[in-house]
Copies of this chain bind each other. A is one copy, B any other.
Amino acid sequence: MNKNVNISIIGTGNVSWHLGHALVDAGYAINQVIGRNEVNTQSYAKAFNADPVYSVNDLDPSVDVVFICVSDDQVQQVEEDIPAFDGQIAHTSGSMPLHPKRENCNVFYPLQSFSKDVAVSFSSIPILLEGHSVEAVSLLREIAQNLSNNVYEVSTDQREKLHVAAVFANNFTNHLFEQAYNICVENNIPFDILHPLIQETAFKAIHANPADSQTGPASRNDQTVIEKHLSLITDKNQRTLYRVITDSILANNETKL
């Protein structure tokens, strides 16, 4: 394990938490955790055996890589606020571009939905890299490959599109699982009944083109069941979701004809 690479982390959110742990587990030394929130910064620094620092101006300039793990809208500002130093910077955001001007800015995007309380195994998480120089990408690839078996180099354009796809595949599907959960709870039905179906849905999406696994009233244009379902749904938002997604599936059917 290459412990000669010295790493600092900016930010104290979910990505920082999971990335920091993965780096420590892989044998990397974390030099500093840099955050504005004193309590969080101290707690993260303690967890990673690092020094807590409260401003990017106090960055130790001897560090090899600084990971920026802040919310998307703060990424560029943080990139520009970091004082000049000889190491590399990498932000961890799916939707932010490669900084156009600062040459040592790069991207190291672990594509996963992180919740602080849920442990993740980094080894299967795809890590998407982008950099200004061959040297920077090579250094980041080495780190990434020590954390994960799925390391890709993708352009800003591809990463941005992938982030949109990830919103569909994760955020939006989770929101639909939440609707299913609520319908069960409201009708005294154990949500466990739907667990095998949820597992099967994910299994099929991974093992076949999802278009080939589409079933249900909309895919067979069964207007009787669609109307019945709409009459059973009392929540306004749920009815809108049902209508719009059904229409989208129906439109798909037509395209396929």
Interface residues of A (CB under 8 A from B): 71-73, 95, 111-115, 118, 120, 124-126, 128, 150, 152, 154, 157-158, 160-181, 183-184, 186-189, 192-202, 204-220, 222, 224-225, 228-229, 232-233, 237-238, 240-242, 244-245, 248-249, 251-252
Contacts and interface: CB of A to CB of B under 8 A. Distances in A.
Given A164-B183, A164-B229, A229-B164, A170 B113 contact: no
Contacts of A71: 220, 222
A131 to B, nearest CB: 18
B165 A179 contact: yes
Contacts of A210: 174-175, 177-178, 180-181
Oligomer copy total: 2
Contact of A193 (B120, B152, B183, B237): B152
A163 B206 CA distance: 24
Given A189-B154, A222-B72, A232-B160, A213 B179 contact: no
